[in-house]
């Protein structure tokens, strides 16, 4: 996978949820996502989606994540609040429907309700037999919605401990210092 360019990895089914989603002025969400999705489909020798087909898909995903339809028409992430940006990331994930998602601090900047919506979104989109999610987080709170199968503690670029969901609970109780020591 490392020899592939980013767009080739995307076509192969990898999705990266950004900690700080980037703004693209003048390009609407719909336009951006349709071009991106159709580029991925092309990379997999699939037929491109028509405008109508795509819009149906995008609207369904926005609804599922309680995102206002108008936000699909707005320029990508421009003027979005932190929480809206993260929710938009999940809408994008729902549209491209990846096999593996790496979600980088997707929970940061979310209020309690948004956290629940995003957590449910992750489950809905990714909780399937042939899919996997690597969820990167500092807190346990998102894990109360998205139950992890495995928990790894990463320190200075190395996995220093691995375990099941109980490890997350231990971290929350004792802090990272206790685990690293």
Partner 1 sequence: MATKNAEAYEAANKSYEWGFHSDIEQDFAPKGLSEDTVRFISAKKGEPEWMLDWRLQAYRLWLTLDTPDWAKLQIDPIDYQDAYYYAEPKAKPKLGSLDEVDPEILRVYEKLGIPIEEQKMLAGVEELGADGQPKRRVAVDAVFDSVSVATTFRKELESAGVIFRSISEAIKEYPDLVRKWLGKVVPQHDNYFAALNCAVFSDGTFVYIPEGVRCPMELSTYFRINAENTGQFERTLIVADKGAYVSYLEGCTAPMRDENQLHAAVVELVALDDAEIKYSTVQNWYPGDENGKGGIYNFVTKRALCQGRNSKVSWTQVETGSAITWKYPSCVLNGENSVGEFYSVAVTNNRQQADTGTKMIHNGKGSRSTIVSKGISAGRSDNTYRGLVRVAPGAEGVRNFTQCDSLLLGDQCGAHTVPYIEVRNPSAQIEHEATTSKISDDQLFYAMQRGLDQEAAVALIVNGFAKEVLQQLPMEFAVEAQKLLGISLEGSVG
The contact pattern for partner 1, residues 62-101, with x = CB under 8 A and - = no contact, is: -------------x----------------x---x-----
Binding range to partner 1, per CB under 8 A, among 23-31, 120-128, 135-143, 158-166: 23-31
Q: Which is nearer to partner 1, 9 or 152 (CB)?
A: 9
What length is written for the chain? 181
Longest dimension (CA), the chain: 56
- Going by C-alpha positions, the residue among 126, 26, 113 that lies closest to residue 74 is 26
Subset of 121-150 contacting partner 1 (CB under 8 A): none
Distance CA 25, CA 75 (A): 6
Tell me if 35 contacts partner 1 by CB under 8 A: yes
Q: Which is nearer to partner 1, 98 or 119 (CB)?
A: 98
Least distance CB 53 / partner 1 (angstroms)? 17
- Going by C-alpha positions, the residue among 28, 7, 10, 9 that lies closest to residue 88 is 28
For the CA atoms of 118, 137, 11, 89, the dihedral, rounded to the nearest 10 degrees, stands at 30
Residues 28, 39, 32, CA angle at the centre, nearest 5°? 5
Tell me if 153 contacts partner 1 by CB under 8 A: no
Q: Which is nearer to partner 1, 33 or 115 (CB)?
A: 33
Which residues here bind partner 1, judged by CB under 8 A?
A: 5-7, 9-11, 15-16, 18, 21-27, 31-33, 35-37, 39-40, 43, 75, 92, 96
């Amino acid at each position: 996978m490392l020899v592939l360019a980013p767009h080739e990895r995307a076509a192969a089914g990898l999705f990266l949820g950004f900690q700080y989603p980037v703004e693209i002025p003048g390009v609407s969400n719909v336009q951006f996502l349709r071009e991106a999705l159709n580029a991925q489909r092309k990379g997999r020798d699939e037929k491109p989606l028509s405008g109508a087909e795509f819009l149906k898909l995008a609207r369904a995903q926005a609804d599922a994540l309680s995102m206002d339809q108008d936000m699909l028409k707005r320029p990508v992430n421009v003027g979005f609040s932190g929480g809206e940006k993260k929710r938009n990331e999940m809408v994008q994930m729902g549209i491209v429907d990846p096999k593996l998602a790496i979600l980088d601090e997707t929970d940061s900047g979310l209020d309690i309700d948004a956290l629940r919506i995003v957590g449910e979104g992750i489950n809905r989109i990714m909780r399937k037999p042939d899919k996997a999610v690597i969820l990167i987080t500092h807190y346990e709170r998102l894990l109360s919605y998205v139950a992890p199968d495995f928990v790894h503690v990463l320190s200075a670029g190395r996995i220093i401990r691995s375990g099941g969901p109980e490890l997350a609970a231990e971290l929350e109780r004792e802090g990272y210092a206790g685990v690293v020591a």
